[in-house]
Amino acid sequence: MLAKVTSKNQLTIPKAIMKLLPRVYCFDVEPRDGGVTMRPAQVSATDTETIRAKPEPARAC
């Protein structure tokens, strides 16, 4: 199955694949052997808050 990467580096996972993974919303993505491996990841509420948090602005030295 093909999936296209957008200009914003986003990838849409085909619906047929997502049907095999009900209730999966996060993936652990790793480079492997010249490709990419995606595995379903379990994320806690604390992890979700960290992901959604805005980074603090960089401070000048």
Question: Do the beta carbons of residue 27 and residue 38 sit within 8 Å?
Answer: yes
Is the residue at 32 inside a domain? yes
* Higher-confidence position of 25 and 45: 25
Looking at residues 17-33, what average pLDDT do you find?
A: 90
Is the residue at 34 inside a domain? yes
Question: Do the beta carbons of residue 13 and residue 1 sit within 8 Å?
Answer: no
Is the residue at 56 inside a domain? no
Q: In the prediction, which pLDDT does 22 show?
A: 85
Per-residue pLDDT band at 58 (split at 50, 70, 90): low
Q: Is the pLDDT of residue 48 over 90?
A: no
Domain that holds residue 22: 12-42
Radius of gyration (C-alpha) of the chain in whole angstroms: 15
Q: Is the pLDDT of residue 10 over 60?
A: yes
Is the residue at 35 inside a domain? yes
For 61, the token pair is 């030295």
Q: In the prediction, which pLDDT does 43 show?
A: 72
**What one-letter code names the amino acid at 31?**
P
The tokens 């492997």 sit on which residue?
Answer: 32
